[in-house]
A = this chain, B = another copy of it.
Amino acid sequence: MKTSFFYSMMLLPVLLSAQQNLVKYVRPIIGTQKMGHTYPGATVPFGAVQLSPETDTISYEKNGKYNGDVYQYCSGYKYDDKTITGFSHTHFSGTGHSDLGDFLIMPTLGKLQLNPGTASNPKSGYRSAFLHQNETAEAGYYKVRLDDDNILAEMTATTRVGFHQYTFPKSDQSHIIFDLMSGIYNYPEKNVWTYVRVINDTLVTGYRQTNGWARTRTVYFAMSFSKPFKQYGQKNYDAKQSYRGFWGKFDQSKNFPEIAGKQIRMYFDFDTDANEKIRIKFALSPVSQDNALENMKTEIPGWDFEKVKQQAQSDWNKELNKIVIDASEDDKVNFYSSMYHTFINPTTYTDVNGQYKGLDQNIHKAEGFINYTTFSLWDTYRALHPFFNIIQPKRNNDMVKSMLAHYDQSTLKMLPIWSHHANDNWCMSGYHSVSVVADAIVKGVYDGDAEAALKACIETSNHRSYDGIGDYIDKGFIPAEKNGISVSNTLEYAYDDWCIAQIAKKLGHADIYSEYVKRSHNWKNNYDASTGFMRARLGNGSFAPNPDVMSTHDQGFIEGNSWNYSFFVPQDPESLMLKMGGKQQFGKKLDTLFTMHLPDSFFADTEDITREGIIGGYVHGNEPAHHVAYLYNWSDEPWKAQAQIRKILKMQYKNAPDGLGGNDDCGQMSAWYIFSSLGFYPVAPGSDEYSIGSPAVKSAVLTLENGKTFTLEAINQSDKNVYVKKVLLNGKAVTDFKIRHSDITNGGKLVFYMDSKPMKK
C-alpha cells in the first residue's frame, strides 16, 4: 500500500489539473423523501461532522407522550416537512434506525423562545418555516432561508468542525438557540448528562452524553462565535434534578458559566445590523473538550466561510474524479450522488492528535491509521466495502484496522456487528465484519497482521452465546423456537464462514479452511427440497409447520420473506441452482421472483421499503436481494440479468428527493448503483471475482490509488441497448461473465458491445 500511496501522491497535481467539476452533479437532496433516509446537510468525505437541518424528531410533550415518528426521522430531515427546528452536527445517512442529532443550533429573532414548538403550531417555538425553493443542498454546503425571521442559514464543514454562517436582519434581539435536549430518536431518558462551560464571550465548551442506539456515548464540543454575545442564559428542564442546595447563591439562569444537567437549553443574545453575519465554528471530539478545541484550531484557524466551503467542495471533487463517466445528465446526477453517498460512511472517529475513545471506554491513540466508526455492516459488506477496495483501498485498510481495534477492546472478543461511537448495537443478522476483513485480505488491501485478523474472525464466529451461534455450530442450523431469525442467521453465518475459509486459504491454513468450508454448507440445512424454499427448522430437526413463503414475520427471517432469502447463497450459487432443480428451474424461479404480485399485507409488514422499491417480489429496498439479479448468470441466462439490472437502475434510482427506493443504508444502495452502472458486481465479497451485468454508462475511467487506470467502454450504449453482445478485457473476450479484482487493479480496458437483442445461447 505504501508504494501505491506514494504514486498517488506524485500524481496528485496531475489529477487535480485534470479534474472536472463533478460536484455539480451531486444532489444531497436525493433520498430525503420517503424511505431514503439521507440528509441534505454539509459534510466532507468520511467526515466526523454531518451538519444538517432537522425538520422534526421524536420529542417529549408535557403530557408524557412522545410525538413525531421516530422511524421517519432517522436522518433528522423529512423533505415533506414545512419547518426546520435547527441545525445539528451528527447524522446517519440512510439508516433504518436512528440516533445522534447532537447540539442543535437555531438562529431566531425577537421574543426568546427556548422550545422548538410543534409542526402544527410552528409559531409556538423557535422552529421556522422554510421553502425548498429557498434551499440549496450541495456536496459540502447547505443553505436555506428561515422565513419566520428572514434569516439566511449557511453551513459547510471540515472533517471535525461544522461551520455555520447566519445572516441576520437588523435587530437588538438576535438569538442563537443552543438546544442540548434535542436529539434524534429523543426522549428524556436518552439524555444522560450535559455539561457546558462558557469560557468567555465567544468560546463555549462541554459535552453531551446519551443512552440511545449507542448505549454509552459522549460527544465533546467546542463552539466559537465570530462576534461576542452580549448575554446568554440557560434553562434546565429536568424537574427531577438532584441536589440544588446552595446553587441559589447564583442566578444560574443568566450569564452563569458553569452549566450541567440532563435537560438543558441555552441561548446567546446579539445585536445585529442589517445583513450582519454571525459565524459559528463547532468542533466535535470523542475524547475531550481540549481535543475539540485542538480540532477546531487545526482545521479552521480563521473565519473565512467561503474558503472553508471551497476546500470542502474541492475535497469532494477530488474524490468524485476517481471515476469519470460519460453518460446522460440524469445518469451523471444519479452516479455522482451515489458516489457522494458512498463516501459519507463510515465516519472518522479520530481527533487530529490521533486519539479516540475505544469500545472499552478508554482513550486510545490510533497508531498509523485513521480510526473509523459507523459500520452498518449487514448492509455495507455487500458492495460498499468491495467498492472501497477498488477506489478507496487506503481508507478501507484503515476501516479494517478500526474493526480489529474494536475487537481488541471488546470484552466479548467480537468484531463489530453494527458499531458507532465506541458502542455496538448488534443490529441485524450475521457477523459480516468477517466478510469485510476477508475481502480486504483476499484482494491484498489489508496491510496489517492477517493472522491476527483471522484469529479475530474465528473467535467472533465461535461466540456461542451470541444469537444462536452455539446451536449453529452444534446442529448446523438454529432451532426456530430459540431464535426469531433462525434462517437469516444460518444463511448469513454460512456465507460469513465461507469468507473465513477464504482468509484461511490465503494464509495456507488447510485445516481451518476445510472446517469453515464445511460450516459454509450449513445453508443446506434450512433448504426444504419439498417446497424449494429456505425454511425454519425446529430443535428436533423437523421443519417448522405452516411455512408461508410470502410472510416477513415469524418465519425465521429479518427484513424479508422466504422468497427474498431463498436465493441467499452468494458463496455458492452453483450448488443453490442445483438444489433448486438445475439451471432451467433456477431461472424460472428467478423469473417468478421478478414478476410475481405481492399482496398489500407485504408492504404493511415489511420495513424500509416502498412500493416503488420492488419489482415483482424482488425487494431492492432491502439488502438480501442485492446480488439476486446477477444469479441469472448461473442459470445461463445472462441477458435476463442484464435486463433486470438496467430496469433496477432506472426504477430504483431517480434524480428526485424520493429517488431512492429504500434506505440508502450508509451507502450500500448507492454502491450497488455504482457497480451495476459500471457493468459488474461482487456477488460474493471475499472472492476476487465480479459478475458481469449491463453497464449504464457510455464510458468510465477509474483512477486507482496505485496510479493505474481502468477504463470501461460501452459501445452502442443506449436505453434500449441493454444487452451485452460481447465483452473484451484488454482485447480478449470474456466468456464466463466474470472479471477478477486484479484485472482492475492492474489497469486496463473493459469494452462492452451493447445491443437491443438478448444474446441467448
Identify the A interface with B (CB < 8 A). 97, 185, 187, 189-190, 192-193, 195, 197-199, 207, 209, 211-213, 215-216, 240-243, 245-247, 249-251, 255-258, 260, 262, 288-290, 360-363, 410-412, 417-418, 425-428, 465-467
The docked-state distance in angstroms from the alpha carbon of A245 to that of B418 is 12
Report the minimum CB–CB distance from A250 to chain B (whole Å). 6
B249 pairs with A290, CB closer than 8 A? no
A288 pairs with B193, CB closer than 8 A? no
The docked-state distance in angstroms from the alpha carbon of A189 to that of B425 is 25
Number of copies: 2
Report the minimum CB–CB distance from A176 to chain B (whole Å). 19
Assuming A255-B465, A290-B362, what are 14 further A-B pairs, CB within 8 angstroms? A192-B193, A193-B211, A197-B360, A197-B361, A197-B411, A211-B260, A211-B262, A213-B243, A215-B260, A245-B425, A250-B426, A250-B467, A258-B410, A258-B411
Q: Chain B residue with minimal CB distance to A185?
A: B243
Report the minimum CB–CB distance from A203 to chain B (whole Å). 10
A242 pairs with B197, CB closer than 8 A? no
List of B residues within 8 angstroms of A262 by Cβ: 192, 211
Interface of chain A: mostly helix, strand, loop or mixed: loop
The docked-state distance in angstroms from the alpha carbon of A187 to that of B360 is 28
List of B residues within 8 angstroms of A290 by Cβ: 362
12 contacts between A and B (CB under 8 A): A185-B243, A189-B241, A193-B193, A195-B216, A215-B260, A245-B425, A246-B427, A249-B466, A249-B467, A288-B363, A289-B360, A289-B361
List of B residues within 8 angstroms of A258 by Cβ: 410-412
The docked-state distance in angstroms from the alpha carbon of A213 to that of B243 is 6
B249 pairs with A426, CB closer than 8 A? yes
A361 pairs with B411, CB closer than 8 A? no
Q: Which of B97, B199, B246 has a CB less than 8 Å from the CB of A245? A: B97
List of B residues within 8 angstroms of A213 by Cβ: 243, 245
List of B residues within 8 angstroms of A362 by Cβ: 288-290
Among A246, A288, A412: residue with most chain B CB under 10 A = A246
The docked-state distance in angstroms from the alpha carbon of A418 to that of B246 is 10
A212 pairs with B242, CB closer than 8 A? yes
List of B residues within 8 angstroms of A426 by Cβ: 245-247, 249-250
Q: Which of B251, B260, B411, B427 has a CB less than 8 Å from the CB of A198? A: B411
The docked-state distance in angstroms from the alpha carbon of A411 to that of B256 is 9
The docked-state distance in angstroms from the alpha carbon of A77 to that of B428 is 49
The docked-state distance in angstroms from the alpha carbon of A190 to that of B238 is 12
The docked-state distance in angstroms from the alpha carbon of A209 to that of B211 is 13
Q: Which of B215, B251, B360, B361 has a CB less than 8 Å from the CB of A465? A: B251
List of B residues within 8 angstroms of A216 by Cβ: 193, 195, 260
Among all A-B residue pairs, the 7 with the closest Cβ atoms: A257-B411, A249-B467, A246-B426, A189-B240, A211-B242, A216-B260, A197-B411
Report the minimum CB–CB distance from A357 to chain B (whole Å). 11
The docked-state distance in angstroms from the alpha carbon of A50 to that of B199 is 34
List of B residues within 8 angstroms of A207 by Cβ: 361
Q: Chain B residue with minimal CB distance to A200?
A: B411
Q: Chain B residue with minimal CB distance to A213?
A: B243
List of B residues within 8 angstroms of A190 by Cβ: 242
The docked-state distance in angstroms from the alpha carbon of A247 to that of B187 is 19
A242 pairs with B425, CB closer than 8 A? no
The docked-state distance in angstroms from the alpha carbon of A428 to that of B199 is 26
List of B residues within 8 angstroms of A195 by Cβ: 216, 361
The docked-state distance in angstroms from the alpha carbon of A211 to that of B243 is 8
Q: Chain B residue with minimal CB distance to A239?
A: B189
List of B residues within 8 angstroms of A410 by Cβ: 258
Q: Chain B residue with minimal CB distance to A99?
A: B243
List of B residues within 8 angstroms of A97 by Cβ: 245
Q: Chain B residue with minimal CB distance to A411?
A: B257
A192 pairs with B192, CB closer than 8 A? yes
The docked-state distance in angstroms from the alpha carbon of A199 to that of B247 is 40
List of B residues within 8 angstroms of A241 by Cβ: 189, 211
Among A212, A257, A360: residue with most chain B CB under 10 A = A360
Q: Which of B189, B193, B198, B417 has a CB less than 8 Å from the CB of A242? A: B189
List of B residues within 8 angstroms of A418 by Cβ: 246
List of B residues within 8 angstroms of A247 by Cβ: 426
The docked-state distance in angstroms from the alpha carbon of A195 to that of B189 is 16
Q: Chain B residue with minimal CB distance to A204?
A: B411
Report the minimum CB–CB distance from A231 to chain B (whole Å). 13
Q: Chain B residue with minimal CB distance to A247?
A: B426
Q: Chain B residue with minimal CB distance to A293?
A: B362
Report the minimum CB–CB distance from A138 to chain B (whole Å). 33
Report the minimum CB–CB distance from A99 to chain B (whole Å). 8
List of B residues within 8 angstroms of A251 by Cβ: 465
The docked-state distance in angstroms from the alpha carbon of A360 to that of B417 is 36
Report the minimum CB–CB distance from A216 to chain B (whole Å). 5
List of B residues within 8 angstroms of A427 by Cβ: 245-246
List of B residues within 8 angstroms of A240 by Cβ: 189
B465 pairs with A250, CB closer than 8 A? yes
Report the minimum CB–CB distance from A721 to chain B (whole Å). 45
The docked-state distance in angstroms from the alpha carbon of A426 to that of B256 is 14
The docked-state distance in angstroms from the alpha carbon of A464 to that of B384 is 59
List of B residues within 8 angstroms of A246 by Cβ: 417-418, 425-428
The docked-state distance in angstroms from the alpha carbon of A466 to that of B260 is 18
A250 pairs with B466, CB closer than 8 A? yes
List of B residues within 8 angstroms of A242 by Cβ: 187, 189-190, 211-212, 215
The docked-state distance in angstroms from the alpha carbon of A213 to that of B262 is 16
Q: Chain B residue with minimal CB distance to A485?
A: B249
Report the minimum CB–CB distance from A443 to chain B (whole Å). 30
The docked-state distance in angstroms from the alpha carbon of A412 to that of B242 is 22
Q: Chain B residue with minimal CB distance to A484?
A: B248
The docked-state distance in angstroms from the alpha carbon of A207 to that of B363 is 14
The docked-state distance in angstroms from the alpha carbon of A326 to that of B289 is 55
Q: Chain B residue with minimal CB distance to A206?
A: B361
Report the minimum CB–CB distance from A135 to chain B (whole Å). 31
Q: Chain B residue with minimal CB distance to A417?
A: B246
The docked-state distance in angstroms from the alpha carbon of A754 to that of B694 is 111
